[in-house]
Amino acid sequence: MKTIIDFFFNKLKALKSLRFLIFILLFIVGVVPSVLISESVIKNYKSREISLRTTEVVDQGRILATRLDSEGYIMDPDNPILENEMTLLTGIYDGRIIITDGRFLVIYDTYGLSTGKTMISQEIIKCFSSGAGSSVYDPDNRYIEIAVPINNNQTGETEGVLFISSSTDIIRDSEDVIRRKSGIITVTLAVFLFVLALFLSYLLVRPFKRITLAIGSVKEGFGDAQVSIPDYSETEAIMNAFNSLMERLKTLDESRDEFVSNVSHELKTPLASMKVLADSLIAADNVSNETYREFMADIAEEVDREDKIISDLLSMVKMDKSQTAVNAEDTDINAMIELILKMLKPIADKRGIQMVFESKRAINAEVDKTKLTLAIMNLVENAVKYNKDNGWIRVGLDGDHQFFTITVSDSGIGIPEESLDQIFERFYRVDKSHSREMGGTGLGLAITRSAVLMHRGAIKVSSVDGEGTTFTVKIPLKIAITG
Ligand code: ADP
């Protein structure tokens, strides 16, 4: 049973092959018209031959009817010369001649079977009533049958009817010969087309095989070489798409390597500091209690730093997940911002920085509260970290029926124009030592941007170096999760 299923499954697979379809198409397009044409040619030939034969027999019938009248055959059927001629004629047309007189009595029959019998048919009545003849073709018995009235030349009256039936077997024989010959031609053509279709289908599908081979050969690694199969515009398009996909994968691969090396570096820095601190404590003799405390406090600070980097990395990984990871809930955005400012007030107060919340209206939106809080918190925290002492921070909130906008402006050190494009990159910092001093990891803005994008929102930055920075976040009130 299983083998039968496998057999049909394999057959179905073959039906799906482009090569098979091209082959079948070429074969059918070649063979079917040739069969149809030869059939219609034979049919035409046959009907033309029959109509020619009918005309010929009718002509002969008319001539004979005139002779029968002029010889007065109806009145005196004893005419061996005429009968001889009629026998000859039936020989030529492979048929039979019957003559009836005005009383529907058969006075002559080349077969001699009906002589003396009465014969009434539609054709005879028609001949007597209208004086016109008729002709029919009987396809079942393959006979042409004609009826010609024998009219009296002087009185114009119909005295009798002449019937001629002629077999068309000879036409059938020639038709058979033609059919046989055309059959041979069709079979030869079919064989030729079979081979041609086989060859052409192989030729036409070859570029696709080359694509498979080319793709197979690059799966080992990201080579620099671009693979090109320019045989058809379609294959070229496939390969262009493939090349750009490879390009993208290569970039992703490189950025992953860079990320791993950045992470290792960031994680190693606090460890190196701790090692130096610990080594110097070990190396020194008679270290005072106070120095111990100082060094241990420094080590604890480095541990905190390491911890911050790791928790930032974890947040970032969470944010990198798809949009379905958004845990949307109806949120009072005003309350959310007020809470953020409250949490950050102590560190702002420490540097005498004034924080103001300017809300234009009450906003309720469907957002992932935890993620958005983290995103906005990073912005406000940066506004504190990169501010001047006794500076100010303004957080604005506004919205319409579709979006709400949060702005975070500060009177801080600003960001140089050439760095504006890069600040959202992971681990990018304008001034590494300043960021480190402030406890930064270089991940804050990357996390913020991911969270905003997860909400199908946008984030913009504008800054004047030395004067201050403004971040603008625009988010839809409802996120349509399309998966
Ligand atoms: P960090 O942990 O270093 O703060 P972020 O990703 O939050 O990392 O920010 C990246 C860099 O962008 C910061 O190191 C800083 O140089 C710059 N930056 C961010 N926010 C501000 C701001 N409000 N004012 C000035 N510079 C900023």
The pLDDT of residue 65 = 93
Q: Closest Cα to atom 20, ligand 1: which residue?
A: 382
Domain boundary among 172, 190, 220: 220
146 CA distance to ligand 1 middle (Å): 111
Strand-by-strand arrangement of the 106-109 sheet? 106-109, 95-101, 158-167, 143-151, 134-138
On the 0-12 / 13-18 / 19+ scale of CB atoms within 10 A, 307 is: exposed
The pLDDT of residue 347 = 94
Per-range mean pLDDT, top range of 1-15, 106-120, 130-144, 376-390: 376-390
* Beta carbons of 213 and 235 less than 8 angstroms apart: no
pLDDT in tens, 67-78: 999 999 988 888
pLDDT of 323 strictly over 80: no
* Beta carbons of 150 and 159 less than 8 angstroms apart: yes
Q: 289-319 vs 444-454: helix axis angle to the nearest 10?
A: 20
pLDDT of 483 strictly over 60: no
Work out which ligand 1 atom sits closest to the CA atom of 431.
Answer: 16
Work out which ligand 1 atom sits closest to the CA atom of 443.
Answer: 6
pLDDT of 481 strictly over 60: no
pLDDT of 66 strictly over 90: yes
The pLDDT of residue 250 = 86
Specify if 194 maps to a domain: yes
Q: Let me know whether 284 and 331 are in one domain.
A: no
Specify if 314 maps to a domain: no
| Spatial separation of the C-alpha atoms in residues 441 and 288, rounded to whole Å | 33
Q: Closest Cα to atom 14, ligand 1: which residue?
A: 429
- The pLDDT-based confidence of 258 (bands split at 50, 70, 90) is confident
Q: Let me know whether 281 and 343 are in one domain.
A: no
Specify if 164 maps to a domain: yes
Per-range mean pLDDT, top range of 136-150, 172-186, 394-408: 394-408
**Least trusted range by pLDDT, from 66-80, 206-220, 288-302:** 206-220
- The pLDDT-based confidence of 434 (bands split at 50, 70, 90) is confident
Q: Let me know whether 12 and 123 are in one domain.
A: yes
The pLDDT of residue 220 = 63
Distances (CA, A) of 77 to 115, 120, 474: 11, 20, 119
460 CA distance to ligand 1 middle (Å): 14
Q: What is the CATH number of the domain that holds 350?
A: 3.30.565.10
Q: Quote the number of domains for the chain.
A: 3
Q: Closest Cα to atom 25, ligand 1: which residue?
A: 414
416 CA distance to ligand 1 middle (Å): 11
* Beta carbons of 185 and 195 less than 8 angstroms apart: no
**Least trusted range by pLDDT, from 179-183, 208-212, 471-475:** 208-212
**Least trusted range by pLDDT, from 47-56, 240-249, 360-369:** 240-249
- The pLDDT-based confidence of 215 (bands split at 50, 70, 90) is confident
The pLDDT of residue 123 = 83
Q: What is the mean pLDDT of the chain?
A: 89
Q: Please choose from 305, 351, 385, 441 the residue to mutate so as to test ligand 1's pocket, defined by most ligand atoms within 8 A of CB.
A: 385
Specify if 158 maps to a domain: yes
Specify if 360 maps to a domain: yes
* Average confidence (pLDDT) over 60-71: 92
The pLDDT of residue 440 = 83
423 CA distance to ligand 1 middle (Å): 7
pLDDT in tens, 8-46: 667 677 778 888 888 889 889 988 998 999 999 999 999
pLDDT of 472 strictly over 70: yes
> Containing domain of residue 418, as a range?
322-476
Which stretches of 68-218 are assigned E, i.e. beta strand? 95-101, 106-109, 134-138, 143-151, 158-167
Q: Closest Cα to atom 19, ligand 1: which residue?
A: 382
Cα dihedral value 410, 415, 416, 422, nearest 10: -150
Structure tokens at 323: 């949009």
pLDDT of 287 strictly over 90: no
294 CA distance to ligand 1 middle (Å): 29
pLDDT of 331 strictly over 50: yes
* Beta carbons of 35 and 193 less than 8 angstroms apart: no
Q: Let me know whether 276 and 346 are in one domain.
A: no
* Beta carbons of 62 and 228 less than 8 angstroms apart: no
Phi and psi dihedrals of 482, rounded to 5?
Answer: -100, 0
Q: Let me know whether 347 and 292 are in one domain.
A: no
pLDDT over 90 for what percent of the chain? 56
Q: Closest Cα to atom 16, ligand 1: which residue?
A: 430
Q: Let me know whether 88 and 37 are in one domain.
A: yes
Q: Closest Cα to atom 8, ligand 1: which residue?
A: 442
pLDDT of 436 strictly over 90: no
- The pLDDT-based confidence of 266 (bands split at 50, 70, 90) is confident
Phi and psi dihedrals of 97, rounded to 5?
Answer: -120, 130
Residues 6+ apart with CB under 8 A from 417: 463, 465
The pLDDT of residue 372 = 94
Q: Which of 165, 159, 163 is nearest to 128 (CA)?
A: 159
Specify if 317 maps to a domain: no
Q: 233-283 vs 289-319: helix axis angle to the nearest 10?
A: 170
- Using CB distances shorter than 6 Å, the residues near ligand 1 are 378, 382-383, 386, 410, 412-415, 423, 428-431, 435, 440-446, 469
Residues 6+ apart with CB under 8 A from 342: none
The pLDDT of residue 2 = 65
The pLDDT of residue 222 = 62
The pLDDT of residue 11 = 67
Q: Let me know whether 240 and 214 are in one domain.
A: no
Q: What is the CATH number of the domain that holds 206?
A: 3.30.450.20
Specify if 483 maps to a domain: no
